[in-house]
Chains A and B, each alone.
Chain A
């Protein structure tokens, strides 16, 4: 049973990675040119990917793909966006290593994490 679960988990992981990759080339071609920028998509009331691991100095760009506004607010209020309407973007450059948990202050069930190395 266990190996099967493992294989399934790996398959899901691969699918998630695949979707993430496709989206980047589709939605943010300009971002792809910059090595120091990472994209997070807001879609269906969730952050994708929910966790990103980046080197210090990287800028994260959030884009709202929902028909409903969302915000990006770090739990410790280090960064805080205005409400993003559809297709609006928010960027923040992470200079210090650490783990930054954030959420949408309008829909707090939406949470994400940025790990800066």
Chain B
């Protein structure tokens, strides 16, 4: 679950500008300037600044002038990163180290330093020890030292998740699920990538569901809840396995709460949905994009021109304003 980086890296001073349209590196040396990137971003659709109040989501374009002032008003902010796929080296992104580095730089450049980072799985591509080591090393450069993980299916290959638990599972239950409280917000990390059944989707399983029911039972209904797991907990596109078979059961335990935010990865693109009191949000990958549902023969890595890649990768910044029970979810790309 939680990993606190030991190294003392001085936090990067806050910068009073909008970082989403800044070029962090020009690794391809392709001469694409900021304007060129912005053109690409217009093509890609770079996400939105979102405010959730009472389960209703309002979104603004990233060009919203007061965007960062608003973000800075919260009493709790954190960042979600996802799908680093360390070890992936195919054409869709032969340099996943650089793009994860860019994500860390982006986090360090935020005007308000987040209290912690959530990684929603697929840390590695093939569950190799060296891949986990590389990610751990790169994340040490983040000025935010507290990092919470949940596994993706790529992190539990070949050993039923034993290595993942050894590395990230301290203090967790079962296959690595857990909860914690921060500034009045209850966070729940769920594992839905284990014991998958033929023909099925992601799965939480009876043991974890039982634990979840007990975990939230004692909470008052005004407690804001943030649930994070790798595979989406809503049916994004079941034909491609983008959903979780027993997520309905999990969400039934959260019905009585006024504000529930569900953060997922897995699909390597931003998607949002509001259903009653629950707002669902998926994050982009730091490694490679995947196609929109049904717009390709399969959900495999999407190859895009090098200069467009970073506009399709990114980090998610989440900000909680106490008293308003509102979470603002902001996606920014790595360009």
Within 8 A of B (CB), among A56-115: 66-69, 71, 75, 82-83, 85-86, 101-103, 105-109, 111
For B92, give its contact among A44, A67, A106 (CB under 8 Å).
Answer: A67
Structural contact, A69 and B126, CB atoms closer than 8 A: yes
Structural contact, A83 and B157, CB atoms closer than 8 A: yes
A92 to chain B, nearest CB (A): 16
B163 to chain A, nearest CB (A): 13
Q: Would you call A45 an interface residue if the criterion is a C-beta within 8 Å of the partner chain's C-beta atoms?
A: yes
User: A66 to B91, alpha carbons, bound, how many Å?
Assistant: 12
Instruction: Given the known inter-chain contacts A67-B90, A68-B301, A106-B153, please indicate yes or no for A83 contacting B126, CB distance below 8 A.
Output: yes
For A108, give its contact among B154, B201, B239, B299 (CB under 8 Å).
Answer: B201
Structural contact, A66 and B157, CB atoms closer than 8 A: no
Structural contact, B298 and A44, CB atoms closer than 8 A: yes
Q: Chain B residues with Cβ under 8 A from A101's Cβ? A: 198
Instruction: Given the known inter-chain contacts A101-B198, A105-B196, A109-B199, please indicate yes or no for A83 contacting B298, CB distance below 8 A.
Output: no
Q: Chain B residues with Cβ under 8 A from A66's Cβ? A: 298, 300
Structural contact, A67 and B300, CB atoms closer than 8 A: yes
User: A45 to B300, alpha carbons, bound, how many Å?
Assistant: 8
User: A34 to B202, alpha carbons, bound, how many Å?
Assistant: 39
A50 to chain B, nearest CB (A): 12
- Of all chain B residues, the one with the shortest Cβ separation from A106 is B153
Structural contact, B196 and A108, CB atoms closer than 8 A: yes
User: A34 to B154, alpha carbons, bound, how many Å?
Assistant: 34
Majority DSSP secondary structure for residues of B touching A: loop
- Of all chain B residues, the one with the shortest Cβ separation from A66 is B300
- Of all chain A residues, the one with the shortest Cβ separation from B90 is A67
Q: Would you call B60 an interface residue if the criterion is a C-beta within 8 Å of the partner chain's C-beta atoms?
A: no
Q: Would you call B197 an interface residue if the criterion is a C-beta within 8 Å of the partner chain's C-beta atoms?
A: yes
Q: Chain A residues with Cβ under 8 A from B297's Cβ? A: 44
User: A68 to B238, alpha carbons, bound, how many Å?
Assistant: 18
3 A-B pairs with least C-beta separation: A44-B298, A103-B198, A45-B298
30 contacts between A and B (CB under 8 A): A44-B298, A45-B240, A45-B300, A66-B298, A66-B300, A67-B88, A67-B301, A68-B301, A69-B125, A69-B126, A71-B157, A83-B127, A83-B157, A83-B158, A86-B90, A101-B198, A102-B198, A103-B198, A106-B153, A106-B196, A108-B196, A108-B198, A108-B199, A108-B201, A109-B200, A109-B238, A109-B239, A109-B241, A111-B198, A111-B199
Residues of A within 8 A of B (CB): 44-46, 66-69, 71, 75, 82-83, 85-86, 101-103, 105-109, 111
